[in-house]
Structure 1
Amino acid sequence: MNLAAPRWWQLAAYGLPGLPLAMAALPVYVQVAAYYHQLHGTELALLGWVMFAARLLDTLQDPCIGYLIDRLRHVKRWLLAGALLLGAAFAALWQAPTALLAPALWLAIMLCLAYSAHSLLNITYLAWGSRLPAQAGHGTAPLLSATAWREGWGLLGLIIGSTVPATILSQSPAQVAYRMGWYSLAFAVLLGLAVLALLTLAPPWPATAQATPHWRGVARQIWANQNFRRLLLPYLLNSCAVALPATLALFFISDQLQAAGLAGLFLGSYFVAAAAGLPLWTRLARRYGALACWRGGMLLAIASFAGTALLGPGDVWQYELICIAAGTALGADLAMPSVLAARAIPAEQAAAAYFGVLTLLGKLALALSGLSLPLLAMLGYQPGQSSPAGQLALPLVYAVLPCALKLLALLTLHRADSEPVPQLRSTA
């Protein structure tokens, strides 16, 4: 007998943890290095190595965390423990006890704890949502709606995480630690409320009927799943195409457009457009399928972003239109891959290990995007300095290379469809 379809408020409760998880992710990835350099005088080279090592650990541990989640019996207790650890580690990141430990050592320890707790929560969260269709027996409508709620809350978290800490860090250094402490407290409260909403109001945790096999068996299951495996290369290429301009956006706005004061407007409109586009992509996916919508989003991203390399000083309204169009395309990138992955996982297999692989690829894309900075330096670009080589290198790496990667992702996704990949249509 099929269970009743989840109500909208249950799906909204499921999506709510996306907000604090995004709030925590962006400051850790983007702003923590500037914070330690500004307040504690930590050398940039040392910060770079600490951040790289912590991110490498974070990337490699995700499949292991996914496998462990599949074997947990009391997953709710682990979710609560992960939330407590993430809240504490995130707050501790901004309150380094310099009298007891070197700031770089404190940063390394807290990053490892924060990354591990975030991965535990995020992978469990993705696996939870992936089983909604199997639970309800109402086609893909619950999965698409849950994904839209999750990514919509997550985009709101990105907007908060990209504006509030940046505003705090731009103020008097004497007040930064104090104000980041209040931000951390607000984050911890939101995280606690979101996890409680997930545990009490959302559709229940989707337990699998079969015991999870040994990790070698799980690895063989994933590798043997051709529908899932064919999504991996397009997902990695597309993630790199998204991460690369995100890494270089502030440099492009400042040096190419010479409009550093409008950076907040551009980034805000990008994320708001993505949030506004999510309901549209969800409706289109119910009618045409998630695979077709992901392709459409890629085409829109390429068409809107291709002309960015031609922009120069003062072309702010043209860039604003590009941000809106590219942000709209981002809605498809955020929602459709996880929907396709969920539909590719057999109902009798545990899902967390699969999503551990996906999150590994997403974090690998973030790590690879960091290589764009030494690449630009090698091509002659120096931030704040104008030279013919730099003026050519920055738009090439910021705009042309992501479009090429996005096109490769689109082509490999087309090739992946040579054998059936589930087309998602609502039967509700």
Structure 2
Amino acid sequence: MPIHLRHLLAYALPALPLAVLVLPVYVFLPSAYAQAGMPLAAIGIVLLLARLWDGVTDPLVGALSDRTVTRFGRRKPWIAAGLPLTLLSLWFLMVPGDGVGAVYLLGWSFALFLGWTMMIVPLTAWGAELSVDYHERTRVAGFREGAAIIGTVLALTLPFAMGVGATGQERDALRLLALVLLVVLPLFTVIALVTVPEYPQPIKSPLKFRRGMKVIFANGAFRKLIAAYVINGVANGLPAQLFLFFVQHLLMEGERAGLLLLSYFASGLLAVPLWLWLSGKYGKHVVWRWAMFWNIGWFLAVPLLGPGDFWPFLVICVMTGMSLGADLILPSAMQADVVDMDTARTGRARTGLYFAFWGLATKLATALAALGLTVAGLFGFDPVTGGTAMGQTALLALYALVPVAFKLAAIALLWRWPIDAAMQVSLRARIAART
């Protein structure tokens, strides 16, 4: 039975402000704290420690939410509990006073990432449990990730629209986004919690930790999917990390980088209905492979570009942006089917723990992609001056060619994907027989 449109819209709402929250932490926060008097080296170390903190909190929140039993459900209490912590910590983290130090940044970063995890891990698990239908799960993921793309676009454009998006205005941009989040995040979260049902899951004694982990990593589909997701995430993360440097130093179009970024994300949002339609017709794994091939075809044209090629690169941004929706929606919907394999085997619905590992995979891909600038620097690239010719060649290769190799590896992993619509129906029948 299809999920009502108003439930889909309400469920997706919190993903929008949560996406608005993520971008400024990576883009504006380092500069803002440097302006407040904190050394860049210390900022980098603190943010690295905060990422390691996620390695503890993500699986813990996922496992605990799976074991939570209340009359309000398993996921809603965690989202509600994470909301005040997120609101409090985002203000102190995003609006620092002068002279703050590493302890201040570390403490509020830990608090914010814990609150964010308490909201996003149960939210994604809740979405996977809204329907047992193979295609309906893609719809759920499509609405959620579409809202996240809108949030990302807003986080990029709102500071510029309000006149605080220029270099040197990072503290003003963070304050603006913090004020917006203090209003929008609680409003959208309450709408979702009040409007959208959470369907009860069978209550059984939890597996012991070692046994539970063994079952998860014995799940061949999970290993294959999460490996492909990380590899494809690195392929997407490298161009994202190097985009501004590529546009500034190789295309000489730094002043119009914002327009290029906006075209990329807008294209990704507009293409979401296309991927939903195609996956409903041909299957999630097949269409995800097509989307990666599409991306590869356009990226192979990037080395042909040179200084002043703004319009050809704008076309490439639009065309590659189309695959963004597929990369966000389809793997997440496939992960919900992977959870069915675990549930059919164990009799327990451990959606939260699986999506906690999903969150860790996302962060691992981001961390690995962040090494791209370091590697380019080893070959002589300089972010300020552009560096040597060899350095700029390395930048081009890391931006356009290395991602192609990674996407081909991800496609190879998915070539014999075991869960199609018929297989998923069989899994649900096995689960029903056990309850």
Give me the TM-score of the superposition, normalised by structure 2. Answer: 0.89
In 1: Cα distance, 2:421 partner to 2:229 partner? 17
Question: 1:178 and 1:304, CA in 2 relative to 1: closer, same or farther beyond 3 A?
Answer: closer
Q: What are the Cα deviations for residues 13-61 of structure 1, in whole angstroms up to 9, with x where unaligned?
A: 1111110110001111222111111x21322222111111211222443
The 5-angstrom pairing of residues 139-178 of structure 1 reads: 139-165=133-159, 168-170=164-166, 173=169, 177=171
Alignment-mate amino acid for residue 72 of structure 1: T
Question: Offset of 1:179 from its aligned partner?
Answer: 5.7
Match of residue 221 from structure 2: 227
CA contact (8 A) 1:241 1:403 kept: yes
In 2: Cα distance, 1:132 partner to 1:80 partner? 18
In 1: Cα distance, 2:50 partner to 2:178 partner? 21
Match of residue 82 from structure 1: 82
In 2: Cα distance, 1:426 partner to 1:145 partner? 16
Q: Which has the higher contact order (CA 8 A, sep 6+)?
A: 1
CA contact (8 A) 1:96 1:103 kept: no
Alignment-mate amino acid for residue 393 of structure 1: A
In 2: Cα distance, 1:425 partner to 1:148 partner? 22
Question: Offset of 1:178 from its aligned partner?
Answer: 5.6
Match of residue 183 from structure 2: 189
Match of residue 392 from structure 2: 391
Question: Offset of 1:206 from its aligned partner?
Answer: 4.6
Match of residue 111 from structure 1: 109
Match of residue 216 from structure 1: 210
The 5-angstrom pairing of residues 22-421 of structure 1 reads: 22-37=19-34, 39-74=35-70, 75-98=75-98, 102-134=100-132, 139-165=133-159, 168-170=164-166, 173=169, 177=171, 180-346=174-340, 347=343, 348-386=348-386, 387-414=388-415, 416-417=416-417, 420-421=418-419
Structure 1 stretch displaced more, 295-304 or 380-389: 380-389
CA contact (8 A) 1:210 1:349 kept: no
In 2: Cα distance, 1:23 partner to 1:116 partner? 17
Question: Offset of 1:424 from its aligned partner?
Answer: 7.5
Question: Offset of 1:381 from its aligned partner?
Answer: 0.3
Structure 1 stretch displaced more, 268-277 or 5-14: 5-14
Question: 1:206 and 1:390, CA in 2 relative to 1: closer, same or farther beyond 3 A?
Answer: farther
In structure 2, the gaps of 5 or more residues are 426-435
CA contact (8 A) 2:28 2:174 kept: no
Structure 1 stretch displaced more, 237-246 or 180-189: 180-189
Q: What are the Cα deviations for residues 105-129 of structure 1, in whole angstroms up to 9, with x where unaligned?
A: 2111111111111112111011001
In 1: Cα distance, 2:331 partner to 2:422 partner? 12
Alignment-mate amino acid for residue 60 of structure 2: C
Alignment-mate amino acid for residue 78 of structure 1: W
Question: Offset of 1:183 from its aligned partner?
Answer: 2.4
In 1: Cα distance, 2:42 partner to 2:270 partner? 40
In 1: Cα distance, 2:88 partner to 2:142 partner? 29
Question: 1:340 and 1:27, CA in 2 relative to 1: closer, same or farther beyond 3 A?
Answer: same
Alignment-mate amino acid for residue 185 of structure 1: L
Match of residue 21 from structure 1: 18
In 1: Cα distance, 2:200 partner to 2:321 partner? 32
Question: Offset of 1:188 from its aligned partner?
Answer: 2.1
Q: What is the identity percentage for the equivalent residue pairs of Structure 1 and Structure 2?
A: 33
Structure 1 stretch displaced more, 42-51 or 323-332: 42-51
CA contact (8 A) 1:218 1:353 kept: no
Q: What are the Cα deviations for residues 332-357 of structure 1, in whole angstroms up to 9, with x where unaligned?
A: 10011011110111254220100111
Match of residue 428 from structure 2: none
In 2: Cα distance, 1:196 partner to 1:188 partner? 13
In 2: Cα distance, 1:60 partner to 1:302 partner? 35
How many residue pairs match? The answer is 412
Match of residue 433 from structure 2: none
In 1: Cα distance, 2:423 partner to 2:272 partner? 17
In 2: Cα distance, 1:83 partner to 1:412 partner? 37
CA contact (8 A) 1:12 1:146 kept: no
Question: Offset of 1:399 from its aligned partner?
Answer: 1.0
Alignment-mate amino acid for residue 374 of structure 1: T
CA contact (8 A) 1:130 1:342 kept: yes
CA contact (8 A) 1:250 1:260 kept: yes
In structure 1, the gaps of 5 or more residues are none
Alignment-mate amino acid for residue 392 of structure 2: Q
CA contact (8 A) 2:16 2:148 kept: yes
CA contact (8 A) 1:287 1:425 kept: no
In 1: Cα distance, 2:199 partner to 2:98 partner? 42
In 1: Cα distance, 2:424 partner to 2:204 partner? 27
